[in-house]
Amino acid sequence: MKKLVICRHAKSSWDDPKLKDHERPLSNRGLRDAPMMAARMNTNSIFPEKIFTSDATRAKMTAEFYLKAFEKIDVVYEVSNALYMASVTELLKEIKKTSNKIDSLFIFGHNPGLTELTNYLGQPLENLPTAAIMGFKFDATSWENISSDNASYWMFDFPKNTSPKIF
């Protein structure tokens, strides 16, 4: 079984209008929410074997809070421009490249692609909020074989959730 945790980057800052979209850092709210969400995952014993993130500053900053939360385990960390503003097709193409030695993959990226991926995998959602996580399990032994046909909803959490023990 393969487990995919889709993680939208935390809230980004628009304080510096001169920054390109790719370079925007996290806002104060994002700096609060990202470590909180990583801690929730850790508390619920949901551990990544690999963290795969967009190379946009806000996505990398979010992913790095998760790396810190899971620093006691050996996590593969990969940064890629291919996840920056990727479509469902592009996201699936990148996910399917994951080594089959990895059973638990966390990806960090952007909307609208992540919301569209969530919907494609069978969990209707209008918008994946910033810093939210959506998890799926796949009845597959190979990442190449994951699809909406073998996906099952696993979990959903977001910063404003008042009942975070949802697993």
Look up the pTM and report it.
Answer: 0.95
pLDDT score recorded for residue 164: 57
Structure tokens at 105: 């993959």
Bigger pLDDT: 42 or 142?
Answer: 142
CATH of domain 2-9+21-157: 3.40.50.1240
pLDDT at 91 over 80: yes
pLDDT at 124: 95
In the prediction, which pLDDT does 85 show? Answer: 95
Confidence of residue 73 (pLDDT cuts 50, 70, 90): confident
* Terminal-residue alpha carbon distance, the chain: 17
Distances (CA, A) of 66 to 20, 86, 104: 25, 21, 14
Q: pLDDT, tens digit, for every residue of 21-37? A: 999 999 999 999 999 99
Strand partners, 106: 5, 51
Q: pLDDT (tens digit, 9 = 90+) per residue, 92-131?
A: 999 999 999 999 999 999 999 999 999 999 999 999 999 9
| Confidence at residue 66, expressed as pLDDT on a 0 to 100 scale | 97
Mean pLDDT, rounded, of the chain = 94
C-alpha to C-alpha distance for 155 and 96, rounded to whole angstroms: 21
User: For residue 51, is pLDDT > 80?
Assistant: yes
pLDDT confidence tier of residue 165, bands split at 50, 70 and 90: low
| pLDDT value for 118 | 97
- Provide mean pLDDT across the span 53-60: 98
Residue 161, pLDDT score:
87
**pLDDT (average), residues 10-16:** 93
Q: Using an 8 Å Cβ cutoff, are 31 and 86 in contact?
A: no
